[in-house]
């Protein structure tokens, strides 16, 4: 029998609530979330129990940060990239964020972080692809050539992983402000 499994994430910027509900459902079936993983979660077979999950974003979180959640009944499970923190608690525990204004603050902060990375990457990507047609010129081919093409594709990849979350968090904030 399989003791661990990987569950793919829909992307925290797009489907955080769905992901967390899925993890809760799986914990009731004995699949307990053990850590955040690239593009998903690692679960281990264990005792079935009704758990709820929450994600919070805090760069360089200290002991006081985690103690605050522990006092509120939340167990820290895992941290990814030094600022995405996954917590679990028994069903019925008060949510980490209890009012709409703090939820908006949470996503606004994430939107700003992603935007700071996405905007320069967007400009670099556009510049590199605008320079590409010039690479047919002899003098530009020496400068730009294959390295420029590789850099263009790398910048597109970085743009996807910063720009898409930026748009996702922006959409969440807009929806929360309308409701």
User: What is the pLDDT, as a whole number, of residue 129?
Assistant: 77
Q: Is the pLDDT of residue 30 over 80?
A: yes
Residues 118/83, Cβ–Cβ less than 8 Å: no
Residue 80: name the closest of 157, 168, 12 by CA.
12
The pLDDT tens digits for 37-79 are 999 999 999 999 999 999 999 988 999 999 999 999 999 999 9
pLDDT above 70: residue 100:
yes
Residue 139 pLDDT > 70: no
Residues 166 and 173: their CA atoms lie apart, in Å, by 11
Rg (CA), the chain: 21
Which one has a higher pLDDT value, 143 or 81?
81
Give the confidence band of 153 by pLDDT, cuts at 50, 70, 90. confident
- Residue-level pLDDT at 44: 97
Q: In this structure, are residues 156 and 121 in contact, taking their beta carbons and an 8 Å threshold?
A: no
Given the structure tokens 């307990």, which residue do they identify? 32
* pLDDT higher than 80, residue 149: no
Report which secondary-structure segment, H or E, holds 173: helix 145-178
Q: How many CA atoms lie within 13 A of 141 on its CB side?
A: 3
Query: 155 and 125 in contact (C-beta within 8 Å)?
Result: yes
Q: Helix, strand or coil for residue 46?
A: coil
Displacement of CA 150 from its chain's centroid (Å): 26
- pLDDT above 90: residue 21: yes
43-52, 64-73, 129-138, 167-176: the lowest-pLDDT one: 129-138
pTM of the model: 0.82
Torsion 91-21-77-54 (CA) sign: negative
pLDDT at 122 over 80: yes
Measured distance CA(43)–CA(23) in Å, rounded: 9
């Amino acid at each position: 029998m399989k003791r661990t499994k990987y569950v793919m994430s829909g992307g925290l910027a797009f489907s955080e609530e769905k992901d967390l509900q899925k993890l809760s459902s799986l914990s009731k079936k004995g699949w307990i979330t053990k850590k955040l993983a690239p593009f998903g979660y690692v679960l281990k077979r264990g005792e079935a129990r009704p758990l709820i999950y929450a994600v919070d974003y805090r760069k360089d979180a200290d002991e006081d940060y985690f103690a605050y959640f522990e006092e509120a009944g939340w167990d820290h499970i895992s941290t990814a990239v030094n600022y995405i923190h996954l917590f679990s608690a028994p069903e019925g525990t008060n949510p980490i964020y209890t009012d709409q204004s703090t939820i908006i603050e949470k996503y606004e902060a994430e939107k700003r972080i992603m935007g700071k990375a996405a905007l320069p990457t967007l400009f670099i990507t556009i510049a590199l692809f605008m320079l590409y047609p010039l690479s047919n010129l002899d003098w530009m081919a020496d400068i730009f050539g294959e390295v420029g093409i590789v850099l263009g594709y790398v910048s597109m990849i970085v743009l996807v992983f910063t720009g898409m979350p930026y748009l996702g968090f922006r959409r969440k904030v807009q929806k929360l402000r309308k409701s």
